[in-house]
Amino acid sequence: MNYTADRPTETETEETILKKAASHKEIVLDVKDLSIFYGSKEAVKRANMGIEKNAVTALIGPSGCGKSTFIRSINRMNDLIPSSRAEGEIIYDGLNILRKDINVVALRAEIGMVFQKPNPFPKSIYNNITHALKYNGQKDKQALDQIVEESLRKAALWDEVKDRLHQSALSLSGGQQQRLCIARTLAMEPQILLLDEPASALDPVSNAKIEELILQLKEDYSIVIVTHNMSQASRVSDKTAFFFNGDIVEYDDTKKIFTNPSETKTEEYISGRFG
Amino acid sequence: MNSRITDRIATGIFYTIAAIMVALLLYLFYFILSNGVPQISWDFLTSPSSAYQAGGGIRDQLFNSFYILFITMIITVPLGVCGGVYMAEYAKPGKITNFIRTCIEMLASLPSIVVGLFGLLIFVNITGWGYTIIGGALALTIFNIPVMVRVTEDAINSVPKELKEASLALGITRWHTIKTVLLPYAFPGILTGAILASGRVFGEAAALLYTAGLSTPTLDYGNWNPLAENSPLNIFRPAETLAVHIWAVNTQGLIPDIREVANGAAAVLVIAVLVFNILARWLGSVIHKKLTASK
C-alpha cells in the first residue's frame, strides 16, 4: 500500500500523477483474500489484487512462489488437480468465479490461457483454430475462414502460414506454434488473456515477437502474464506483482517495482540476489 | 572382469535372445506353411467340410471365424474403449478404482476353458439359445474386454497433459475434449489393442467349444436374411470356427485325410491372421493421418 500521494507535503511528481491516472483504471478481475491449497500445503496465501482492464499485469517471483498456481486459478485450470482447493473470491463481471455453480466451460472461453510449452493439437493449422469454434456450433465455412484469418493476423502469424493452413501444426517452429496457440485462444474472443510463461521455451527471436505481440494485444484484451524473465516483465507490463512463498509481497506499477520498490525483498529479487 | 567386457556380454545375450525369438517365429511359419500351403486350393477354401469322406474343405469354418471376430469386436471395442476412457479420465484414484483394476486384471487372466464353461452355463443353457455365434462372441468378449480397457487406458494416459489442458482451457467440455483430442491421439494405441484382441479371437478354441459349438448348419451364402435358419449371417446358429475345426479334426475326426485338412486349415489360419493384421495396421495409419493432418 502506498500513502505518499495523500501527504500534503509531497509535490506531485510525474510518478504520482501516473499512479493517480492508473488508479482510475477499470478493474476487470478483483482478487480478494484468495488462498489456494494443494492438500494441506498453502500455495497462495490470502492474495489481494485488482487486475486492470486493457493492461498487462506481470506476475514475477522465484520458482514455486505460487504465481503459476495463482494464474491457473483465474480460469479454474486448478480444478484438474484433484487435491487442490481455493478459498476467497475472484470477482469477474460481478460474479465470484470460484463458486461451485459457475459454468467453468463458459468461463474458460472468456478467460483464455496460453501455456509455457507450445501445445498445438496434432491437427492442421486451420483445424487448431476451428477446434473450439466448431464445438461452439460455428459450422459456416465462410465465417470459419474469416475467423481463422483474423485470429492468425492478430497473432502476427498469418503471413507465415497463409499458404499452408492445412498442413500439420506440428510442422511449425516453436515460436510459430506458440503464436498459433495465442491465435487459437483469440479466436474465442476472450476478455482476458492469461499467459503462463509464454516465451520461456522459445529462442530470443521468437521471444521478441511474442513480446511485440503482447504490446499489440493489450489494446483489446486484459493480459496477465507469468514470467521468469525480469527484463521481459519490465518491457511489456504496466503492473507487476512480486510473489514470494505464496504471498504477494508487492503489487504496483511496473516502473515503480523496477526502479524504486517499497519492499527490500522485491529489491533483492529484481536485482538478482536470489531466486 | 572389467565393465567393458560385462557390457559386451550383456549386449551379446540380448542379441541372442532377439535372434532366438525371430528364429522361432520363422521356423514356426516355415513348418506350418510348408506343410499346409500345398493343401490349400480354391476347392479347399470354397467347399464345405465333410464328415466321413476325404476332400472336404473349410469354407464355412473360414467364414465363421471372420464372422465371430466381427460380432465379438462390435461388442468388445465400444465397451472396452468406454471402460478405458472411464478408467483414464473419470475414475478417481482410490480404493474403488484399484478394486476395479484388480477385477479387470483377474478377468484377463481367466483360463479360456473356464470362460468357455461359464459361457456354456450362461449363454447356452440359461438363455436357452443353444450353441450360437452370439454365445461364442459374448464368451470371447469376456476375456477381450480387459485387454481393450487396459490398452485404451494406457493409450489415453499417454496423451500429453498439455494437449488436454489446451482443449479444456479453450472452454471445451471434458467429453468433447475426450472425443476430439484424446481419442484421436490415442487411436494408434487403441488400434493395436484391437488387433491383439482380434488375434486372440482368431486363435481361440477352448472358449468356443462349449459356446459356438462344433458344427455348422448347411449354409446358403445367397441368403442374406439374418433371421433365416440357413443364412450365414444368422447369429443364433451354431458355428464351428477354423481353430475349433483344427482341434476337432485332430481329436475326433473320422475323415481319412485328417493330416491334410488340419495342416491346410492351420496354414489358412496363420495367413488370415497375418493378412488381417497388415490390413488393420494399414487402415489404422490412413485414419490416423486423416485425423492428425500429418504426412
Q: With CA atoms as reference, report the closest residue to B139 among B66, B244, B64, B212.
A: B212
Give residue for cell 492351420. B266
Q: With CA atoms as reference, report the closest residue to A164 among A180, A142, A185, A178.
A: A180
Q: What residues in A contact B160, CB-CB < 8 Å?
A: 119
pLDDT band at B1 (very low <50, low <70, confident <90, very high): low
Q: How far is CA A2 from each of CA A239, A262, B293, rounded to the nearest angstrom?
A: 14, 9, 55
Of B162, B173, B180, the CB nearest to A119: B162
Question: What ipTM goes with this model?
Answer: 0.84
Where in the sequence is the domain holding A171, given as residue range(s)? Answer: 53-76+102-241+249-270
Residues 191-250 of A with CB under 8 A from B: none
Sheet holding A247-253, edge to edge: A111-114, A192-196, A222-226, A56-60, A239-244, A247-253
Of A108, A122, A168, the CB nearest to B171: A108
Mark B255-278 as b/e (b = at least 16 C-beta within 10 Å).
bebeebbbbbbbbbbbbbbeebee
Q: What is the mean pLDDT of the segment spanning B270-278?
A: 89
Query: Is residue A94 in a domain?
Result: no
| Cα B125 from chain centroid (whole Å) | 25
Query: Is residue A17 in a domain?
Result: no
Q: What residues in B contact A75, CB-CB < 8 Å?
A: 169
Q: Which of A59-63, A259-263, B25-29, B52-56 has the lowest mean pLDDT?
A: B52-56
Residue range B69-96, pLDDT digits in tens = 999 999 999 999 999 999 999 998 889 9
Query: Is residue A63 in a domain?
Result: yes
Q: What is the mean pLDDT of the segment spanning B209-221?
A: 89
d(C-alpha A32, C-alpha A23), whole Å:
17
Q: With CA atoms as reference, report the closest residue to B259 among B29, B42, B38, B63.
A: B38
Of B169, B176, B181, the CB nearest to A113: B169
Residue A10's pLDDT is what?
Answer: 47
Tell me the sheet residues that pair with A86.
Answer: A36
pLDDT band at A6 (very low <50, low <70, confident <90, very high): very low
Q: What residues in B contact A167, CB-CB < 8 Å?
A: 293
Residue range A219-259, pLDDT digits in tens = 999 999 999 888 899 999 999 999 999 999 999 999 999 99
Cell of B45: 477354401
3-state secondary structure of B252: helix
Q: Are A260 and A231 in contact (CB under 8 A)?
A: no
Residue range A189-226, pLDDT digits in tens = 999 999 999 988 888 888 888 899 999 999 999 999 99
Q: How far is CA A146 from each of CA A39, A58, A80, A90, A193, rounded to the nearest angstrom?
A: 46, 32, 33, 34, 21
Query: Is residue A210 in a domain?
Result: yes
Residue A256's CATH number: 3.40.50.300
Residue A14's pLDDT is what?
Answer: 61
Mean model confidence pLDDT for chain A: 88
Residues 151-170 of A with CB under 8 A from B: 166-170
Residue A9's pLDDT is what?
Answer: 44
Q: What is the mean pLDDT of the segment spanning B60-69?
A: 93
d(C-alpha A121, C-alpha B167), whole Å:
8
Q: Do A135 and B92 touch (CB under 8 A)?
A: no
Mutate to test the interface with B, among A119, A180, A184 (most CBs of B within 10 A): A119
d(C-alpha B285, C-alpha B191), whole Å:
10
Q: Considering only alpha carbons, which residue of chain B is nearest residue A124?
A: B293
Cα atoms in the Cβ-side hemisphere of radius 13 Å centred on B20: 6
* Number of domains observed in the structure of chain A: 1
3-state secondary structure of B253: coil
Residues near B18 by Cβ (< 8 Å), separated by ≥ 6?
A: none
Q: What is the mean pLDDT of the segment spanning B116-128?
A: 94
Query: Is residue A25 in a domain?
Result: no
d(C-alpha A172, C-alpha A161), whole Å:
9
pLDDT band at A1 (very low <50, low <70, confident <90, very high): very low
Question: What is the secondary structure of B49-76 as a DSSP string?
Answer: --SSSS----HHHHHHHHHHHHHHHHHH
Three-class SS string for A74-115? HCCHHHHCCCEEEEEEEEECCEECCCCCCCHHHHHHHEEEEC
Backbone angles phi, psi at B90, to 5 degrees: -110, -35
Q: Assess whether pLDDT exceeds 60 at residue A5.
A: no
Q: Considering only alpha carbons, which residue of chain B is nearest residue A77?
A: B169
Residue B93's pLDDT is what?
Answer: 83
Q: Do A82 and B93 touch (CB under 8 A)?
A: yes
User: Nearest C-alpha of chain A: how many angstroms from B293?
Assistant: 5
Q: Assess whether pLDDT exceeds 90 at residue B219.
A: no
Q: How far is CA A35 from each of CA A41, A64, A69, A85, A195, rounded to the nearest angstrom?
A: 10, 15, 10, 8, 21
3-state secondary structure of B216: coil
Of A132, A166, A169, the CB nearest to B170: A132
Q: What is the mean pLDDT of the segment spanning B248-253?
A: 89
Q: Do B294 and A108 touch (CB under 8 A)?
A: no
Question: What is the secondary structure of B69-137 as a DSSP string?
Answer: HHHHHHHHHHHHHHHHHIIIIIPPSSHHHHHHHHHHHHHHTS-HHHHHHHHIIIIIIIS---S-HHHHH
Q: Considering only alpha carbons, which residue of chain A is nearest residue B294?
A: A168
Q: Which CATH number fits domain B42-292: 3.40.50.300, 1.10.3720.10, 1.20.1600.10, 3.90.1150.10?
A: 1.10.3720.10
Residue A20's pLDDT is what?
Answer: 54
Note every long-range contact of A157-164, with CB atoms under 8 Å and residues 24 or more positions apart, other chains counting. A157/A183, A161/A125, A164/A125
Task: Count A/B contacts: CB-CB distance under 8 Å.
Answer: 80
Of A117, A166, A185, the CB nearest to B293: A166
Q: With CA atoms as reference, report the closest residue to B40 among B269, B237, B289.
A: B269
Mean model confidence pLDDT for chain B: 91
User: Nearest C-alpha of chain A: how many angstroms from B127?
Assistant: 44
